A and B are shown apart, each in its own frame.
Chain A
Amino acid sequence: MRAYVPDYELVAPPDLRSALETMASEPGAWRPIAGGTDLMVLFEAGRLPFHKLLSIWKLDELRGIDVTPESITVGALTSYTQILQHAILQREFPLLTKAASWTGGVATQNRGTLAGNIANASPAADSPPALLVYDAQLELVSAAGSRTIPYNGFHTGYKRTQMRPDELIARIRLPRSNRNWHHFTRKVGTRKAQAISKVCLAAVAELDGITFKEVRIALGSVAPTVIRCPRTEAFLTGKSINNETIVGAKETIVSEVQPITDIRSTADYRLRVTANVVEQFLLWTKFHACCGSSRWADAMADGAQDPWWNLEEKDWLEAFASHPKIGEKPVNDAVATQEQKSIGGASPKILAALAEGNRIYFEKFGYIYIVCATGKSGEEMLATLRERLFNDPGSEIRIAAEEQQKITALRLEKFSA
């Protein structure tokens, strides 16, 4: 413990307003401290340059996760634990909840805060790449008022931000959408837990088949700040995922990063791994467009031949859940629309029976009715559904898995053409 405690001053303002007033009264003199998982480490190493600390830990105005149809707003002091446990964040912003689960261990996750991760401004922080691809916005507050700025651009240089000395991050806003995003992230660290990243990639992609409609890629630990990759994003937009695209994307991403050699890794390693992880992202996304099981896509991207039957039931269920119900109009899913087009001519009576059948099926088995729709009429699919309703759960899930495999195979074939 290399700090001389009496040299420091730590006070806890009773509320946000007095905190901001204190900061405004002596701009730059007071450093806010939340959970302490970064600042206390520096303090104990004798390397904390700030001697006046303002504890904002108890300011509940800065806590809470607020959900509206348009966005999820995360309070600055939301801990990693609170983030990774939040059901809607898990579903709609999985890269953020994954990043939260990768940060330190449980004890760090209970004390570390999202705003702390942002304000500490390390290019190796775990949450920022996810925030960048989710187009997060920051609400900054001061005694003078508040302003909302995009997170992209917040970091202006190594450990430098756009924040004024009298400002605090109050909230992080994540815009929601009902677009069909594929979410991919990989952190390459020194070990599996409690590791500072050497390369960290977060990406989201919206596809038409396997052609990119929109893609957002962010990287950590390969530049003085976390970065989006506009050149690579532009390169990929409108392109199909194939070998040529992959080669081009790898070349482009390498031109956007400036990795260094430091105590954790080498520039050369970071460069190669960045390119390799981008390739992995592209392959994974292509396969994920064929089948909604993340682990199946992982295995296929790895080069596996036919991993479907080596997966667990939970992986199959994940794949099933990515489909719209048979007979329901798929939303934002051109591929499913195409696959179900043979239903197109079905009568309203058949469609209603299918909807009812779907409901009963879901009630019995807990997942939606999966059938390879290509070339089948509404009546055929309804008949099959009614037959399969009599199956026991153990047999039925295998049948559903077989149907999923057929769907996957058709998609793979179609996308390879």
Chain B
Amino acid sequence: MHNHAVGTPVPRKEGAEKVTGRAQYVDDLHMPNMIHGTTVRSQIARGKIHNITFAEGVPWDEFTIVTAADTPGKNAVTLILDDQPFLANGIINHPEEPVVLLAHPDKGLLEKARTLLHIDIEPLTPIFSIEESERREQIIWGDDNLFKNFLIEKGDLDSVWAQAAYIVEDEYRTGAQEQLYIEPQGMIALANPAEGITIWGSMQCPYYIQKALLSLFPLPPEKIRIIQMETGGGFGGKEEYPSILAGHAALLSWKSGRPVKMIYDRAEDMSATTKRHPSRSRLKTAVAKDGKLLGIDFQFDIDGGAYATLSAVVLSRGTIHACGPYYFPNVRVTSRAFATNSPPHGAFRGFGAPQSIFAMERHMDKIAGVIGITPEEIRRRNFLKPGQTTSTGQTVRENVDLNQILDRALALSDYHRKRAEFAEKNKGRATKKGIGFASFMHGAGFTGSGERYLQSVVAVEATREGRVRVLSSSTEIGQGTNTIFSQIAADALGIGYDQIDVGRPDTAEVPNSGPTVASRTCMVVGKLVESAAIGLKQTLVNSGILKQEYTPKEFRQACAAYIDKFGMLKSTTQYEAPPGIYWDDEKYQGDAYGAYAWAVYVADVSVDTRTWEVQIDDFVALQEVGRVIHPVLAKGQIEGGVAQGIGYALYEGVTWKDGRMINNQMTNYIMPTSADIPPIRVFFEEIPYAYGPLGAKGIGELPMDGPAPAILNAIENATGASVNEIPLLPEMLMELVHA
């Protein structure tokens, strides 16, 4: 096997289109006879719909109008619990809940019409917090407001409190965060009973959309075709939400008989679509005199909003990651996902892990402070070692040395020298400097049996000219799917990177490789690409048309010969779980993930105590990732994730009023600009993972976990202020210090 493309910075596969403005995003597409669609939404959080009135001011007879009554099939979005309607059916459960859809050829008039349609709602009492939900004075979902709960137990936690030299207890909170992809959500639908449905749109998971439309419309899967357009960022925000938008566009098209385009503007996208789940973590840890962690009681609660969406899975990941890269002989993690009357929360890079890891990493620094040792020392005494088990009882099988990773991160960031210097130099200064770190791990792929359940398929097909097409439903959303698949296939086949094409994710053309989520695209689907490519090669070799060792030219000739003889050259592979992975869904125990990536992030901050503004002066991100497939893309992933983590920690606060996001404009929802982002220095280590393509693990979500706790640990080092909540805006830091 030649190794020319993997590991080298080949040009991004679709890069030329992107830098010249030729890449086609959904809003760039026009169709003959196309009309525009919009959504009329509830302005209040909870109530009963009494009336819909159409005020004067637009020619209503020109409009296509769709309500819940117009759904041909089941008015429920197929996801996990199918509790969310496409359109509210008499009951409102959150602000911005969609009630009526409108379509018209004139986009401007459509917007005017939207403001002239009034929905009369008799209010019911809403709830907006985890606390209100768990009090259960108002039941807004199911019997008990609980979407899901988990329990992880290990050892005998109740016995450790008596033996503990120290018991450290505290509560940590994280706020909602908006994905803020720069391309808003959008779909075009062409739907009619005779021909079926075609959807073009901005999305991460074409097959999720297909599945959602299957129950909404009385059509078989072959008649529901989903095509991904170039997608301007997703980060999880386009994992499940696009199914709703696609359903809406399809409903309007179904009724009007014309193609319908629906593009959200920024204000609607921010207030109506999903966000990261807010969380509350209550940790109680038993620590021995020598600093060894004896046990942890971790209560992890998240706010899921009004419908279940993916809360169960977010909760799962947060639960499993809660205990961090440390050895705890005794564990109890109780986790719950609660319903509130906010717009449903959903997937966002990290998916529960940033929330629980924030709590754990802040707590570790706290423990260190209580027992009088350094943040570094508390980690060293408790890092997981090969052979030890995680909270779910998974044995660490790879040769990871967290102490060495920590050593390297601290050296790269000049941690010890800076810590000493800052302590000295901060005296009498208005601007205080501090340095802090977070150590963490992130499991790639679906949890436990999830990958097995997905049964992902990838195909690789050759043309007569010897070009090879990779066919998978994994979408390019900026992370580099097209590029790494091409690299992997090229090296597996021993041909040039330029000989590979990646088929557009179009359900009529590509098999279901599972969703583009969970950091699985490289590690899981990339491995399938590798296998399918090897399968293609084997087919050629086994047929006798190609020798075992060959040149790219011979490969091309062999493709032509094979196709002339047999008509088609295609190799398909389906996922098989790696051997030795055991997961018990009932007890929530066992091997939660095939592989973990391990990391230490270090933040160097300045805090201006006159204004309580925090500036990050240097950031080191060191991670072990199995194998770096593309050095520039990998760095790009980490840097982008760190930037989002910095936003999560210091800038991105959602301002809620009666359950609505009221700072739903880019001028008031503060994302870091190029002037705010520090130098981000990225470094990799590689312990190859046997079941990843060329040893690669997943890295997409990993960088989201580290920045927030590292930064808050640094702020504590700088000012002594111990903050347990993010986003930490200057107003809050000021209040805490002056309290």
In the complex, A touching B (Cβ < 8 A)? yes
Contact of A45 among B613, B665, B670, B730 (CB under 8 A): B665
**Docked CA distance A260–B738 (Å):** 19
B428 within 8 A of A: yes
Q: Mark B397-424, 1 if CB is under 8 A from A, else 0.
A: 0000000000000000000000000000
Known: A193-B673, A280-B430. A1 touches B611 (CB 8 A): no
A277 within 8 A of B: yes
Say yes or no: A4 contacts B112, CB within 8 Å.
Answer: yes
Closest approach, in angstroms, between the C-beta of B730 and any C-beta of chain A?
7
**Docked CA distance A272–B609 (Å):** 11
List B residues 304-326 near A (Cβ within 8 Å).
none
B53 within 8 A of A: no
**Docked CA distance A303–B663 (Å):** 37
A322 within 8 A of B: no
List B residues 248-267 near A (Cβ within 8 Å).
265, 267
Closest approach, in angstroms, between the C-beta of B352 and any C-beta of chain A?
27
Q: Tell me the nearest residue of chain B to A265, going by C-beta.
A: B731
Contact of A303 among B428, B670, B672, B738 (CB under 8 A): B428
Say yes or no: A5 contacts B108, CB within 8 Å.
Answer: yes
Q: Tell me the nearest residue of chain B to A269, going by C-beta.
A: B731
Known: A191-B651, A302-B431. A266 touches B731 (CB 8 A): yes
A349 within 8 A of B: no
Closest approach, in angstroms, between the C-beta of A198 and any C-beta of chain B?
8
Say yes or no: A263 contacts B662, CB within 8 Å.
Answer: yes
A40 within 8 A of B: no
**Docked CA distance A268–B667 (Å):** 22
A146 within 8 A of B: no
**Docked CA distance A276–B107 (Å):** 50
Closest approach, in angstroms, between the C-beta of B5 and any C-beta of chain A?
38
Closest approach, in angstroms, between the C-beta of B484 and any C-beta of chain A?
33
Q: Tell me the nearest residue of chain A to B651, going by C-beta.
A: A191
Contact of A188 among B611, B651, B670, B676 (CB under 8 A): B611
Q: Tell me the nearest residue of chain B to A283, going by C-beta.
A: B430
Say yes or no: B663 contacts A2, CB within 8 Å.
Answer: no
Q: Tell me the nearest residue of chain A to B107, going by C-beta.
A: A1
A379 within 8 A of B: no
A46 within 8 A of B: yes
**Docked CA distance A195–B666 (Å):** 10
Closest approach, in angstroms, between the C-beta of B617 and any C-beta of chain A?
13
Say yes or no: A191 contacts B667, CB within 8 Å.
Answer: no
Known: A1-B265, A4-B111. A279 touches B667 (CB 8 A): no
**Docked CA distance A268–B612 (Å):** 13
Please indicate the chain A residues that have their CB under 8 angstroms from the CB of B673 in the complex: 105, 191-194
A334 within 8 A of B: no
Please indicate the chain A residues that have their CB under 8 angstroms from the CB of B431 in the complex: 302-303
B168 within 8 A of A: no
B69 within 8 A of A: no
Q: Mark A1-13, 1 if CB is under 8 A from B, else 0.
A: 1111111000000
Please indicate the chain B residues that have their CB under 8 angstroms from the CB of A105 in the complex: 673
Say yes or no: B670 contacts A190, CB within 8 Å.
Answer: yes
A264 within 8 A of B: yes
Say yes or no: A268 contacts B735, CB within 8 Å.
Answer: yes
Say yes or no: B115 contacts A46, CB within 8 Å.
Answer: yes
Please indicate the chain A residues that have their CB under 8 angstroms from the CB of B81 in the complex: none
Known: A191-B673, A193-B676. A4 touches B430 (CB 8 A): no
Please indicate the chain A residues that have their CB under 8 angstroms from the CB of B613 in the complex: 188
Please indicate the chain B residues that have their CB under 8 angstroms from the CB of A119 in the complex: none
Interface centre among A195, A265, A280, A302 (most CB of B within 10 A): A302
Say yes or no: B730 contacts A269, CB within 8 Å.
Answer: yes
Q: Mark B650-661, 1 if CB is under 8 A from A, else 0.
A: 010001000000
Q: Mark A266-307, 1 if CB is under 8 A from B, else 0.
A: 101100110011011000000000000000000001111100
Say yes or no: A277 contacts B610, CB within 8 Å.
Answer: yes
Closest approach, in angstroms, between the C-beta of A276 and any C-beta of chain B?
4
B551 within 8 A of A: no
A196 within 8 A of B: yes
Q: Tell me the nearest residue of chain A to B665, going by C-beta.
A: A45
Say yes or no: B108 contacts A6, CB within 8 Å.
Answer: yes
**Docked CA distance A188–B613 (Å):** 9
Please indicate the chain A residues that have their CB under 8 angstroms from the CB of B736 in the complex: none
Contact of B734 among A192, A199, A269 (CB under 8 A): A269
Closest approach, in angstroms, between the C-beta of A226 and any C-beta of chain B?
19
List B residues 3-60 near A (Cβ within 8 Å).
none
**Docked CA distance A344–B612 (Å):** 50
Q: Mark A240-280, 1 if CB is under 8 A from B, else 0.
A: 00000000000000000000000111101100110011011
List A residues 93-118 near B (Cβ within 8 Å).
105
Closest approach, in angstroms, between the C-beta of B115 and any C-beta of chain A?
7
Known: A263-B662, A280-B430. A196 touches B667 (CB 8 A): yes
Contact of A263 among B428, B663, B734 (CB under 8 A): B663
B109 within 8 A of A: yes
Please indicate the chain B residues that have their CB under 8 angstroms from the CB of A302 in the complex: 429-431
Say yes or no: B265 contacts A280, CB within 8 Å.
Answer: no
Closest approach, in angstroms, between the C-beta of A70 and any C-beta of chain B?
37
Please indicate the chain A residues that have their CB under 8 angstroms from the CB of B668 in the complex: 263-264
**Docked CA distance A46–B665 (Å):** 13
Please indicate the chain B residues that have their CB under 8 angstroms from the CB of A264 in the complex: 668
B675 within 8 A of A: yes
Contact of B610 among A4, A45, A273 (CB under 8 A): A273
Closest approach, in angstroms, between the C-beta of A203 and any C-beta of chain B?
15
Please indicate the chain A residues that have their CB under 8 angstroms from the CB of B738 in the complex: 272
Contact of B675 among A41, A192, A304 (CB under 8 A): A192
Say yes or no: A191 contacts B662, CB within 8 Å.
Answer: no
Closest approach, in angstroms, between the C-beta of B387 and any C-beta of chain A?
46
List B residues 496-538 near A (Cβ within 8 Å).
none
Please indicate the chain A residues that have their CB under 8 angstroms from the CB of B730 in the complex: 269
Say yes or no: A263 contacts B610, CB within 8 Å.
Answer: no
B548 within 8 A of A: no
**Docked CA distance A194–B431 (Å):** 23
Contact of B430 among A5, A272, A301 (CB under 8 A): A301
Say yes or no: B429 contacts A304, CB within 8 Å.
Answer: yes
Closest approach, in angstroms, between the C-beta of B431 and any C-beta of chain A?
5
Please indicate the chain A residues that have their CB under 8 angstroms from the CB of B610 in the complex: 273, 276-277, 279-280
List B residues 105-161 near A (Cβ within 8 Å).
107-109, 111-112, 115
Say yes or no: A272 contacts B675, CB within 8 Å.
Answer: no
Please indicate the chain B residues that have their CB under 8 angstroms from the CB of A268 in the complex: 731, 734-735
Closest approach, in angstroms, between the C-beta of A407 and any C-beta of chain B?
24
**Docked CA distance A192–B674 (Å):** 9
Please indicate the chain A residues that have their CB under 8 angstroms from the CB of B430 in the complex: 280, 301-303
Closest approach, in angstroms, between the C-beta of A154 and any C-beta of chain B?
25
Q: Tell me the nearest residue of chain B to A304, going by C-beta.
A: B429
Interface centre among A4, A105, A192, A195 (most CB of B within 10 A): A4
List B residues 629-670 near A (Cβ within 8 Å).
651, 655, 662-663, 665, 667-668, 670
Say yes or no: A1 contacts B676, CB within 8 Å.
Answer: no
Please indicate the chain B residues that have their CB under 8 angstroms from the CB of A269 in the complex: 612, 730-731, 734-735
Closest approach, in angstroms, between the C-beta of A329 and any C-beta of chain B?
38
Contact of B265 among A2, A4, A188, A190 (CB under 8 A): A2
Known: A191-B675, A192-B673, A263-B662. A277 touches B731 (CB 8 A): no
**Docked CA distance A302–B429 (Å):** 5
Say yes or no: A4 contacts B108, CB within 8 Å.
Answer: yes
Please indicate the chain A residues that have their CB under 8 angstroms from the CB of B663 in the complex: 263
**Docked CA distance A357–B669 (Å):** 59
Closest approach, in angstroms, between the C-beta of A354 and any C-beta of chain B?
41
Contact of B611 among A195, A273, A304 (CB under 8 A): A273
Q: Mark B418-455, 1 if CB is under 8 A from A, else 0.
A: 00000000001111000000000000000000000000
A-B CB proximity, top 7 nearest: A276-B610, A192-B675, A193-B675, A303-B429, A269-B731, A303-B428, A4-B112
- 8 additional A-B pairs beyond A268-B731, A303-B431, beta carbons within 8 Å, are A4-B111, A46-B111, A46-B115, A192-B675, A193-B674, A196-B667, A266-B731, A302-B430
Q: Which residues from chain B sit less than 8 Å from chain A, CB to CB?
A: 107-109, 111-112, 115, 265, 267, 428-431, 610-613, 651, 655, 662-663, 665, 667-668, 670, 672-676, 730-731, 734-735, 738
